[in-house]
């Protein structure tokens, strides 16, 4: 038995009686929703040995039910920490009104106004 499997057995040893295996904390999550119900598509040979393949980060996310990229949970957290919320963006636009061209006919900010506000907010947060 390899050291790897021995380590696994020791880790899961306490739970084998109930027939359940304890799952370790997952490190990766979906870069779209942050959920960790993700599965990698891999290449394996006839002995189930997974090959390194092309190092793709593409995963199937069970939460989004779509293909997305995997990111480390820490990185996802950093990303969402610096990404302003919709409310913050609207507040920023309200506090920093743009010219008439920055709004649609119905009075909502255009995509460009919205994107500009996100950039400004991210710059401010980074300082
Ligand atoms: Zn997802």
For residues 62 and 41, state if they share a domain: yes
For residues 94 and 72, state if they share a domain: no
- In the block, residue with structure tokens 């069970």: 62
Q: With 80 as the cut, is the pLDDT of residue 59 above it?
A: yes
For residues 105 and 71, state if they share a domain: no
For residues 40 and 53, state if they share a domain: yes
Structure-block tokens of residue 18: 């109930």
pLDDT tens by residue, 70-114? 999 999 998 888 888 899 999 999 999 988 899 999 889 999 999
For residue 11, is it within any domain? Answer: no
- Spacing, Cα 38 to ligand 1 middle (Å): 8
Say what percent of the chain tops pLDDT 70: 76
Helix axes 111-126, 73-82, angle to 10 degrees: 110
For residue 88, is it within any domain? Answer: yes
Which residue range(s) make up the domain with 55? 25-80
- Spacing, Cα 65 to ligand 1 middle (Å): 7
Residue 122: other Cβ atoms inside 10 A: 12
- Spacing, Cα 74 to ligand 1 middle (Å): 16
For residues 109 and 76, state if they share a domain: no
CB of 59 closer than 8 Å to CB of 39? yes
pLDDT tens by residue, 37-49? 999 888 889 998 8
Q: With 50 as the cut, is the pLDDT of residue 19 above it?
A: no
Instruction: Name the domain count of the chain.
Output: 2
């Amino acid at each position: 038995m390899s050291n790897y499997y021995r380590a696994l057995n020791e880790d899961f040893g306490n739970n084998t009686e109930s027939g359940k295996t304890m799952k370790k904390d997952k490190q990766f999550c979906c870069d779209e929703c942050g959920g960790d119900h993700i599965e990698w598509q891999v290449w394996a040979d006839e002995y189930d040995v997974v090959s390194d393949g092309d190092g793709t980060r593409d995963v199937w996310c069970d939460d989004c039910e779509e293909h997305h990229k995997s990111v480390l949970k820490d990185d996802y957290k950093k990303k969402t920490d610096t990404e302003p919320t919709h409310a913050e963006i609207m507040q920023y636009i309200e506090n920093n009104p743009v010219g008439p061209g920055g709004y649609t006919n119905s009075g909502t900010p255009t995509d460009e106004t919205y994107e500009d506000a996100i950039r400004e907010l991210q710059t401010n947060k980074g300082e």
